[in-house]
Each structure stands twice: as structure tokens, then as C-alpha cells.
Amino acid sequence: MIYCCGASMIGKIGTIVRKQVSVHQVPVLYCPVCQKRHVHPAVKEQFELVVEYAIEDRVKETTLYDRIDHKMLKKWKEYSFSFEEDDNQESILREQIDLALDLLRICKPDYDWADLLKIRLKVLSEKLRNLEISKENSC
């Protein structure tokens, strides 16, 4: 499990742009608070190879998913704290909020850490509220 700015990073399939090449369907870890994205360590080598091949072939867009086997995907999902798909964004945000609240209980003596966690909680709560509003509007 990887942490970033007080939140655990979430597994997701996304697009990463590297060296002016857009690589789609890449297993990534991303932070729900600051939105940082990293290529998952289990596929980093394959990702770098795909980027190099695309540069050599002068291709601006490619996909990584075809070069990843099922064992790698299973390893990737086990490595992640959570795996976000379109239908479970709300549960992921709630898990992140619960985790931040647990950490806040522990960190009472450390005021700097507590302040950082409160900022993360505010961001996560706002995202959850926006998700709930968008669900209400779509119904």
C-alpha cells in the first residue's frame, strides 16, 4: 500500500502521458486528494517499453492493456488499498474518509499532522458531496 499526502493511493486504469506519448489503459495508483498519478510498479517496465516503441514508431497514442497478463493485473489489484471502478467511487471516498478519521484520532499530539489530515478530510468530503449531488441530478 502506498500513501500520498495523508491518503492511501487507489488503483485505477487510466491514461498517462510520457514523452509526448499518450498511453491508455495503464494500471495506475492515484491520490484522491492531490490527484498525483504513478504507473503501478508491477507494470512500470512494460509501460516504459511501450513508450519507447511508440517514440521509435512515431506514434502519439498507444495502449498498454494488451501487453499485461492476468497475473500482473491480479498482483496490481492486491497491491492497491482500493480499486476504483465507475460504480464504486462513493465507497472508495468513504473508505478514505474513514482512514483519515482513524489517523486523526491517533495524531492528536502532533498538531501539524492533525492540520494536514483536516485539510485532506475537507477535500475528500467535498468530493463525496459533489459525487452525491451529481448522482441526485442524474436520477
Instruction: List, for residues 4-22, the tens digit of each pLDDT value.
Output: 665 677 777 788 888 889 9
Instruction: List, for residues 36-87, the tens digit of each pLDDT value.
Output: 888 888 788 888 988 998 899 898 988 886 666 667 666 666 665 566 555 5
Contacts for 32-39: CB closer than 8 Å, 24+ residues apart: 32/7, 32/92, 32/93, 32/96, 32/124, 32/127, 33/4, 33/5, 33/6, 33/7, 33/96, 33/120, 33/123, 33/124, 34/4, 34/5, 36/4, 36/5, 38/2, 38/9
